[in-house]
A and B are shown apart, each in its own frame.
Chain A
Amino acid sequence: MHPSTPLDPDAAISVRGLVRRYGDRNAVDGVDLDIRRGEIFALLGPNGAGKTTIVEILEGHRRRDGGEVRVLGVDPATGDRRWKSDIGIVLQSGAGDSQLSCIELLRAQAAYFPDPRDPAEVLDLVGLTEKAGARGRTLSGGQRRRLDVALGIVGRPRLLFLDEPTTGFDPEARRQFWSLIRSLRELGTTMLLTTHYLDEAEELADRVGVIARGRLVEVAVPAELGGRGTAPAVVHWTEDGARRSAETATPTAFVAALAARFPGEVPDLAVARPTLEDVYLRMIGDPA
């Protein structure tokens, strides 16, 4: 994407040349990005890479020092009540402490929006129906985060921001959370999610943007990230008592030829492509 490309008016989110400085450091350093309507987009990057800064600029919570931004066609710096009613936000820090029960919090939140979802249905969607009468402080970390998501979607947003929604979850809680996000996708919600978990980005996102040191290093579907789809495969096997390996662009043909050399199974046969983690670590390791 060339910086001079105009903003995409049909995109849910369109960003050109976004810059945010903290002191003399560019925390966000010229980011261009288009997120389509209905898409789940993951911003993947290590802590401090600039993910939260970008997302909070798009939410209208932070100011920017340069560049152009449109979120649902509006500059977030000037977003009014109408604009905010189309947007759901799940902050990294959560929604704060309250003496209200889950259902009371959702009812109050729903009252700010023109066309809210039914609070009881939303509670059901996030799997907190049994906790309807419980106060936030009695919930576990995972339940607490699902309540944050419930608060983010009760206004029936067209666009949902999720800033590190599963940090601190155990694996079971993360799987439950992922299925919640998939059910939201069924409802047609566009989502921008930040995460530093590779498997989460791979599992949920239609496209992944890798961010390092304030720059968007690459945008791709998870399977093709870092040229992963076309990278040479490595075939491993054992022959004459020795471990052998070969790099090949045509692993199927290679394995077929290999199979012809052996009477039965090829001993210890394995075909590997670079994992997402391999390409990711290479990308964020590269000095920009």
Chain B
Amino acid sequence: MTTSTEHRPLPSLLSVCRTRAGVELKEFFRQRESVVFTLFFPVILLLALGAILDYDLGSGVDFPQYFMAGIIAVGIFGASLQNMAIHIAGERSDGTLKSLSGTPMPKSAYFIGKVVQVLAVAVATIVILLLIGVFVYGIELPTGRDWLTFAWVAALGAAACTLLGITVSTLARNSRSASATVTPIALVLEFISGVFLPFDQVPTWLQTIASLFPLKWMAQGLRSVFLPDELALREPAGSFELGRVALVLGLWCVVGLVLCVRTFRWQERGDT
């Protein structure tokens, strides 16, 4: 076989990744439903609950200051787990994935594009939430080493939830069933993970359930960023347990990666 293409090198992984990242950003930010559902849902929650709820947690911490950690965790959860589960399920059922798998696109470029999308959406969500927090509710921004904690908790949480989201997309039949499954589960997790209510007000058995999932640990890690150290005593463990936060989120990354690699399909079930 002699062909012109045999003499031309395949496009580099980097250049295909750049293309995929561009595609993923346009796909997300041009779709009104995804922008409203993923990006503005936590913003609306922050504004609505900030206007309704008003309790004092002591040490001069009001509700918006407490809620900041939880709502950012919700934002990251939405940008990663919910976004991946729903949209990849959609791309699988409408044939986008099958079409891509028939091209010479390196498969890794697809996932790297998704990671860029999750990062962009998560960062945009966090920035908007922080701006509202500061300018509407006058919350105190983290200082010094807290920013570092913020960065690693957010990154590790987003990584674990992205991998789990991709796994959930494979288990779902289509994007509608993914949405119908993931959305209520997310809401329940948000209630029992100390997002809306102080975690020590959640019944112990629900705390235990919440502890199995990454959202609780993300919210807990972020509380250490936004709350004064003395409030660590209100945590069930008496501290923010940053070591354990890293361990559990890291473990979820490993579990998520294994499940992802083992289950991912480029076509619908029964279509191969």
- Residues of A at the B interface (CB closer than 8 Å) are 59-63, 72-73, 81-82, 84-87, 89, 91, 93-100, 104, 107-109, 111-115, 151, 155-156, 158
Tell me the bound Cα distance from A60 to B6 in angstroms: 20
**Contact check: which of A60, A72, A113 meets B11 at CB < 8 Å?**
A113
By the criterion CB–CB under 8 Å, are B5 and A112 in contact?
A: no
Q: Which residues of B contact A94 (CB under 8 A)?
A: 95
- Residues of B at the A interface (CB closer than 8 Å) are 1, 3-6, 8-11, 15-16, 19-20, 22-23, 26-27, 30-31, 90-91, 94-99, 101-106, 267, 271-272
By the criterion CB–CB under 8 Å, are B27 and A98 in contact?
A: yes
Q: Which residues of B contact A89 (CB under 8 A)?
A: 99, 102-103
5 interchain residue pairs of minimum CB distance: A96-B96, A99-B30, A111-B19, A81-B104, A112-B105
Q: Which residues of B contact A72 (CB under 8 A)?
A: 1
Q: Which residues of B contact A96 (CB under 8 A)?
A: 91, 94-99
- With A61-B272, A72-B1, A114-B8 as given contacts, are A84 and B31 in contact (CB-CB < 8 Å)? no
Tell me the bound Cα distance from A109 to B30 in angstroms: 19
The listed residue with most B CB atoms (<10 A of its CB), out of A97, A151, A156, is A97
By the criterion CB–CB under 8 Å, are B4 and A60 in contact?
A: no
Beta-carbon nearest neighbor of A101 in chain B: B26
Interface of B is mostly: loop
- With A73-B1, A114-B8 as given contacts, are A61 and B267 in contact (CB-CB < 8 Å)? yes
- With A84-B103, A89-B102, A95-B96 as given contacts, are A100 and B10 in contact (CB-CB < 8 Å)? no
Tell me the bound Cα distance from A112 to B99 in angstroms: 12
Tell me the bound Cα distance from A109 to B156 in angstroms: 32
By the criterion CB–CB under 8 Å, are B16 and A98 in contact?
A: no
Tell me the bound Cα distance from A63 to B102 in angstroms: 14
Q: What are 6 sample pairs from A and B whose C-beta atoms fall under 8 A apart?
A: A82-B6, A89-B102, A108-B23, A111-B15, A114-B11, A151-B99
Q: Which residues of A contact B22 (CB under 8 A)?
A: 108
Beta-carbon nearest neighbor of A72 in chain B: B1
Q: How far is the CB of B250 from chain A (nearest CB, A)?
A: 33
By the criterion CB–CB under 8 Å, are A91 and B11 in contact?
A: no
By the criterion CB–CB under 8 Å, are B272 and A86 in contact?
A: no
The listed residue with most B CB atoms (<10 A of its CB), out of A60, A84, A112, A115, is A112
Q: How far is the CB of B36 from chain A (nearest CB, A)?
A: 14
Q: How far is the CB of A50 from chain B (nearest CB, A)?
A: 15
- With A63-B272, A93-B98, A151-B99 as given contacts, are A114 and B27 in contact (CB-CB < 8 Å)? no
Tell me the bound Cα distance from A135 to B91 in angstroms: 16
By the criterion CB–CB under 8 Å, are A115 and B8 in contact?
A: yes
Beta-carbon nearest neighbor of A82 in chain B: B10
Q: Which residues of B contact A85 (CB under 8 A)?
A: 5, 10, 104
By the criterion CB–CB under 8 Å, are B5 and A87 in contact?
A: no
Q: How far is the CB of B32 from chain A (nearest CB, A)?
A: 10
Q: Which residues of A contact B105 (CB under 8 A)?
A: 112
By the criterion CB–CB under 8 Å, are A61 and B26 in contact?
A: no
By the criterion CB–CB under 8 Å, are A115 and B30 in contact?
A: no
Beta-carbon nearest neighbor of A155 in chain B: B103
Q: How far is the CB of A286 from chain B (nearest CB, A)?
A: 30
By the criterion CB–CB under 8 Å, are A95 and B99 in contact?
A: yes
Beta-carbon nearest neighbor of A105 in chain B: B23
**Contact check: which of B4, B103, B267, B272 meets A109 at CB < 8 Å?**
B103
**Contact check: which of A87, A97, A115 meets B102 at CB < 8 Å?**
A87
Q: Which residues of A contact B15 (CB under 8 A)?
A: 111
Q: How far is the CB of A190 from chain B (nearest CB, A)?
A: 12
By the criterion CB–CB under 8 Å, are B5 and A100 in contact?
A: no
Q: How far is the CB of B33 from chain A (nearest CB, A)?
A: 11
By the criterion CB–CB under 8 Å, are A114 and B272 in contact?
A: no
Beta-carbon nearest neighbor of A63 in chain B: B272
Q: Which residues of B contact A155 (CB under 8 A)?
A: 103-104
The listed residue with most B CB atoms (<10 A of its CB), out of A60, A72, A82, A151, is A82
By the criterion CB–CB under 8 Å, are B98 and A91 in contact?
A: yes
